[in-house]
Amino acid sequence: MMKERQKIRLRALEPEDLDILYAIENDADLWNVGITNVPYSRYILRDYIAHANADIYQDRQVRMMIENQSGEVVGIADVVNFDPQHLRAELGIVIMNAHRRQGYATAAVEEILRYSLSVLHLHQLYIVVDERNTAAIHLFGHLKFKETARLEHWLSDGHQYHDALLMQVIL
C-alpha cells in the first residue's frame, strides 16, 4: 500500500516562532550536522526574526517554517549561501523529532524545489551531508540529488572527523 503524501506549507518566520526556533537552534544533537556549534540566545533569535527581510538577494538566505495541514510547525527549511551570479544555494532542513519519519521532509524538499525554481529562479540547490546520515542521503537521492563530491574530514563531532557528501540537483 502506497503511503499518502503529506501536505505541508512553507511560510515566513513570525515572532510566535521564537520558542521553536530557539529549541531547534540550541539542540546540541543537531550541531554535528551543520556548521553551528554554539547556542543562540532568545535576544539574538528575536532580533533575527524582526530584521530578516525574506529577500534572498539582500539576506543571501531565506528561512521558512514548515507547517502540516493542521497548521502545526513540524520543522524549518533554510535556503542559504545564495550565490546570485551562479543562481545556486545550499539547502538545510530540520524536521522536529516528534514529526520525523512521517513524510514531512520529502514533502518539504519537494516544495522547496518548486519554490527555488519558480520563485527564486535558482539553477541548482546543494546539500552537504554527513556520510553517516543514511536517512538524509536516501531522502535526497530519491529526490534526484546526485552525490558529486566527497569532502574528507569535513565535519567534527568533537571527538573525530567525518567525511561529508556534496549532493546537488539541477533545477
Averaged pLDDT score across all residues of the chain: 87
Under 8 Å between Cβ of 128 and 164: yes
pLDDT at 38 over 70: no
pLDDT greater at residue 28 or residue 93: 93
Q: Angle between the 18-25 and 42-51 helix axes, to the nearest 10 degrees?
A: 120
> How does residue 1 score in pLDDT terms, banded at 50, 70 and 90?
very low
Backbone angles phi, psi at 71, to 5 degrees: 85, 10
pLDDT for position 2: 45
pTM exceeds cut of 0.75: yes
**Alpha helices (H) in 56-162, listed in sequence order:** 56-59, 104-118, 134-142
CA gap 120, 87 in Å, rounded: 9
Grid cell 502506497 is found at 2
Given a cut of 90, whether residue 120 has pLDDT beyond it is yes
